[in-house]
């Protein structure tokens, strides 16, 4: 076992001498927030394993029981934005370029990648999980895209995977940062399997006992399915399914302003809805507009085009100041009182949104042109 600063790598031998590689995010104190050193470690390793005939699959998990990955390590982004304000901070482009490159690689990986989505899976953590071939959620999974709370938007491929959710649910989840449990993730196709957290060692053992002969994706799926038969009765009811009619009604409104107003006007004592409502109330009105527009313009984009759009959008957000203010309030000063530019979505100047979606590079100079 080789331990790096932020990722632990373990090799498990299978019955016929192949290797399951376990890559464990190792920053438990930060809830395994995805940092630049983590990305720098994982990217070359994944590319190496993809070309290694001895490696049959990758298991991406984390230290501790609280979180797979609770988001990106955005504190460094804050300091870079403060240093370079009001101009673009080079580190913002660098970080998001590398993060999206990693996410895209996971989406397009030739070999099975099992992501163990236990505990909190937020923002950048969902970026790691969304594109994996075998996405496992557990009894403690709490999955969300909470960027509206920090003046950003659901990036890391959100333009792609939120658009592919049924019933326009991606818009609701992006606007409200609503947390999903395992059943919810299966409902909106962000996960493939439900297992109990304690079954992770059973899965590793089953993979080690298996004889891999070329149908590696199917072999992994079959092994997980066997374990899932023992755990399915433990899965809690999903909030999305239990609120389906209400969500359909809210999302049927004709405009963003009408949808936001309807959510804010809800009179309920339902804890899940109250949390979603509170996140929308506290969130950035600019972010709400970004969510609506990114899903609108991203409808027909390929995965690569979505990541290219998001990189330009993230760089623009780094210039605007709303993102910086959101991080300050949540993670720096921790006063939880961000001073947003606008109090309500109806007040947002459309020129700001158009500027955020304006190109930063042309096709020949885009940092993600090779995707």
Please choose, from the candidates 25, 209, 221, 4, the residue with its C-alpha nearest in 3D space to the C-alpha of residue 112.
221
Calculate the alpha carbon distances from 203 to 96, 114, 136, 200 in Å.
33, 10, 11, 5
Residue 297's pLDDT is what?
97
pLDDT at 1 over 70: no
- The SS3 assignment for 194 reads strand
**DSSP line for 48-100:** HHHT-TTEEEEEEEESSSSEEE-SB--HHHHHHHHHHTTSPPHHHHHHHHHHH
pLDDT at 156 over 70: yes
The neighbouring-strand residues paired with 115 are 60, 135
pLDDT over 70 percentage in the chain = 99
Two tokens at 336?
């939880």
Determine how many CB atoms are found less than 10 A away from the CB of residue 306. 25
Domain 2-356 has CATH 3.40.190.10: no
Helix (H, G, I), strand (E, B) or coil at 289: helix
Q: What integer pLDDT is reported at residue 177 of this predicted model?
A: 98
Is residue 4's pLDDT more than 60?
A: no
Dig out the tokens for 163 from the structure.
């658009």
Average pLDDT along the chain: 97
Question: Which phi and psi angles does 257 have, rounded to 5°?
Answer: -60, -40
Whole-number Å distance between alpha carbons of 331 and 228 = 38
Per residue in 161-195, pLDDT (tens digit) is 999 999 999 999 999 999 999 999 999 999 999 99
Taking a C-beta distance cutoff of 8 angstroms, is the pair 177, 348 a contact? Answer: no
Domain residue extents for the chain: 2-356
Average pLDDT over residues 264-291: 98
Report how far residue 40's alpha carbon sits from residue 38's, in angstroms, rounded to the nearest whole number: 5
Q: Assess contact for 38 and 7: CB atoms under 8 A.
A: yes
Q: How far apart are CA 205 and CA 214, in angstroms?
A: 19
- Model pTM greater than 0.75? yes
CA distance 43 to 100: 11
């Amino acid at each position: 076992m080789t331990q790096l600063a932020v990722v632990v790598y373990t090799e498990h031998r299978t019955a016929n001498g192949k290797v399951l590689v376990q890559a464990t995010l190792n920053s438990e104190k930060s809830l395994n927030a995805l940092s630049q050193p983590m990305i720098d470690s994982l990217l070359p390793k994944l590319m190496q394993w993809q070309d290694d005939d001895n490696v049959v699959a990758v298991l991406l998990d984390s230290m501790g029981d609280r979180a797979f990955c609770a988001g990106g390590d955005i504190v460094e982004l804050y300091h870079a934005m403060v240093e370079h304000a009001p101009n673009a901070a080079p580190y913002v482009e660098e970080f998001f370029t590398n993060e999206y490159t990693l996410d895209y690689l996971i989406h397009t990986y030739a070999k099975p990648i099992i992501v163990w989505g236990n505990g909190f899976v937020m923002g950048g953590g969902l970026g790691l999980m969304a594109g994996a071939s075998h996405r496992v959620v557990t009894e403690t999974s709490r999955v969300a895209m909470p960027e509206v709370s920090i003046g950003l938007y659901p990036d890391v491929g959100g333009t792609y995977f939120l658009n592919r959710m049924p019933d326009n649910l991606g818009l609701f989840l992006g606007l409200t940062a609503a947390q999903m449990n395992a059943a919810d993730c299966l409902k909106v196709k962000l996960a493939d399997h439900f297992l109990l957290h304690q079954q992770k060692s059973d899965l590793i053992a089953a993979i080690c006992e298996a004889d891999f002969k070329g149908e590696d994706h199917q072999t992994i799926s079959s092994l997980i399915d066997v374990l899932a038969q023992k755990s399915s009765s433990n899965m809690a009811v999903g909030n999305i399914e239990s609120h389906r009619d209400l969500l359909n009604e809210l999302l049927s409104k004709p405009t963003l302003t009408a949808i936001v107003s309807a959510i804010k006007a809800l009179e309920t004592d339902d804890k899940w809805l109250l949390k979603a409502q509170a996140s929308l109330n506290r969130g950035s009105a600019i972010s709400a507009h970004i969510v609506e527009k990114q899903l609108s313009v991203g409808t027909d984009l390929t995965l690569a085009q979505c990541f290219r759009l998001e990189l330009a959008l993230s760089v623009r957000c780094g210039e605007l100041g709303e993102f910086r203010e959101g991080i300050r309030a949540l993670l720096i000063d921790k006063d939880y009182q961000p001073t947003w530019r606008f109090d309500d979505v109806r007040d947002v100047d459309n020129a700001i949104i158009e500027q955020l979606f304006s190109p930063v590079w042309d096709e020949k100079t885009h940092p993600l042109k090779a995707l």
